[in-house]
Amino acid sequence: MVTAVVEGVEVDTRHWIAGRRVASGSTFTDISPIDETPLAEVSSAGPAEVDAAVAAARAAFPSWASWSREERAAVLHRVADGVERRAEELSAVETRDNGALLRSHRRGVMPRAATNFRFFADHLLTLDRSAPDIDGHRQRVTHDPAGVAAVITPWNAPLMLATWRIAPALAAGNTVVAKPPEWAPLTASLLADITADAGLPAGVLNIVQGTGEEAGAPLSAHPGINRMSFTGSVPTAGRVAAAAAPNIVPLSFELGGKSPLVVFADADFDLAVALAVEQFDNSGQVCLGAFRILVEDRVASGFVDAVVDRASQLVQGDPREETTDMSCLVSRRHFERVDGFVRRARAAGASAILGGGPNHDVGHLFYRPTILAGAEPGAEILTEEVFGPVLTVQTFESEDQAVAMANDTRFGLAATLVTGDPERAERVSALISAGTVWVNCFFVRDLGAPFGGNGHSGIGREGGGWSFDFHCDVKNTVFAPTGWRDSG
């Protein structure tokens, strides 16, 4: 079978290489986490398909790189139009594939996938910079396309995360080989159709489906790639970096987190409670999630009671229902991983003040919103990324202690502070080590702002000009002031 019909939408499950559908001899089964039914048999790439995709991208590069910026921007806007036109279908397929809420896909995720193309198309037209003259010599700084970008992405927001990486690469004039996540591969296949309809030339975007080990590993190690753009977990990032190292390929890594939500006694109480409960969105499968609640001890008891009360009212159920607040986890393997963290934390002395286990009343892969208290400093549950609906609570007595606890992590993706004191907001946000710090808000994202993580949360920044700096060979050309030397 080369096509599957998912929620009434036909999806071609073969690779997309050089503008054609290409099947592999072997396939993998894509399973919906909502009810664990098989959705599709998807072509499974190995080194041969990866070679073919990189060759196609290399062949398409010179022509694509020579298109004017206006021409590239125009085709990327048409891709965005196509995403918008098919947003309903993309939302329905993505929901069935990764189990996240249909209403989030409709209202947030798919509009953002379209915006990814529009934003980088527009930003492309503002790129040129000039450097100051030096001793009368004119300096010209240009952004030359680098070549073939490999893009490897995860399943928690598959199309949004893939397009966040693909769009700047294409805008920069690079060609792309993308490897979507094997737990939610389908919308990438629809994206291939959308780009073809928009007039993106054959070979400019190539998509190889498959597992990390079989398709991702040969792509990371491929000598034909010029940029490695990876979003995923820290252990995989280590393998990708090691594979890419012999080829001296620049890396952009957006990885995991263990971000804090720091609540001071002077905070707007209702806002702080709402921000804490928001961390259960997408069943906690959010890299930026603030899963470590750090609360000032004199307000801790009332605050925690209110969070437990509000979180216990979250409606768990089918993600296609408008009334559902929390859905399932993405796969059985991930479900067991999340449950393992909670079991070990409880065995080590933490207590579940909310949830603490599966919700089999709803389905096999549904996990209750869980809040754990009493974990010992340094415990696994306080230091490792769970990537599920599991918050921990710790208390602090002073601002200094709050900062120390917030920074007591090898990650540094994000942090959220809730305080009513503007001076404290300035002080504490300056001392926190994280790529993004939100003060009295959460998840406010501007595509022109730098995005990335410190420490084990990543390498580099993307967004706005940072993305073009990564995807381009930035060149400085220095012109002498005196004209051309007489060659005679």
Which residues lie near ligand NAD (CB under 6 A)? 152-156, 161, 179, 181-182, 211-213, 216-217, 220, 231-233, 236, 239-240, 254-257, 287, 385, 387, 413, 453, 458
Angle at 121 between CA 117 and CA 126, to 5 degrees: 145
DSSP of 412-424: -SEEEEE-S-HHH
- Is the separation of the CB atoms in 256 and 387 below 8 Å? yes
Q: How far is the CB of 129 from ligand NAD (least distance, A)?
A: 26
CB-based contacts of 129, cutoff 8 Å, min separation 6: 141
Q: How far is the CB of 354 from ligand NAD (least distance, A)?
A: 23
Q: Give buried/exposed letters for 168-207 (b at 16+ CB in 10 A, else e).
A: bbbbbbbbbbbbbbbbbbbbbbbbbbbbbebebeebbbbb
In the complex with ligand NAD, the residue whose CB is nearer, 82 or 232, is: 232
Compute the CA torsion angle 154, 158, 159, 163 (nearest 10 deg): -20
- CB-side exposure of 88: number of CA atoms within 13 Å? 3
Q: How far is the CB of 184 from ligand NAD (least distance, A)?
A: 9
In the complex with ligand NAD, the residue whose CB is nearer, 75 or 406, is: 406
Q: Which residue is nearest to ligand NAD (CB)?
A: 212
Q: How far is the CB of 414 from ligand NAD (least distance, A)?
A: 9
CB-based contacts of 227, cutoff 8 Å, min separation 6: 146, 147, 148, 149, 150, 169, 174, 249, 250, 252, 470, 471
- Which residues participate in catalysis according to the annotation? 254, 287
In the complex with ligand NAD, the residue whose CB is nearer, 154 or 363, is: 154
In the complex with ligand NAD, the residue whose CB is nearer, 233 or 401, is: 233
Q: How far is the CB of 155 from ligand NAD (least distance, A)?
A: 5
In the complex with ligand NAD, the residue whose CB is nearer, 52 or 373, is: 52
Q: How far is it, in rounded angstroms, from Cα 485 to Cα 145? A: 31
Q: How far is the CB of 367 from ligand NAD (least distance, A)?
A: 16
- Is the separation of the CB atoms in 278 and 314 below 8 Å? no
Q: How far is the CB of 299 from ligand NAD (least distance, A)?
A: 30
In the complex with ligand NAD, the residue whose CB is nearer, 338 or 413, is: 413
Please give the structure tokens belonging to residue 358: 């599966």
Please give the structure tokens belonging to residue 417: 């502070």
- Is the separation of the CB atoms in 278 and 285 below 8 Å? no
- Is the separation of the CB atoms in 414 and 423 below 8 Å? no
Q: How far is the CB of 183 from ligand NAD (least distance, A)?
A: 7
In the complex with ligand NAD, the residue whose CB is nearer, 117 or 155, is: 155
By the 10 Å C-beta count (0-12 exposed, 13-18 middle, 19+ buried), 446 is classed as exposed
Give 281's DSSP letter: G
Q: How far is the CB of 480 from ligand NAD (least distance, A)?
A: 44
The sign of the CA dihedral 93, 337, 218, 58 is positive
In the complex with ligand NAD, the residue whose CB is nearer, 420 or 455, is: 455
DSSP of 343-370: HHHHHTT-EEEE--SB-TTT-TT-B--E
Q: How far is it, in rounded angstroms, from Cα 478 to Cα 200? A: 35
In the complex with ligand NAD, the residue whose CB is nearer, 7 or 385, is: 385
DSSP of 389-410: SEEEEEEESSHHHHHHHHT-SS
CB-based contacts of 392, cutoff 8 Å, min separation 6: 291, 292, 293, 350, 371, 372, 373, 375, 381, 382
Please give the structure tokens belonging to residue 31: 């399973």
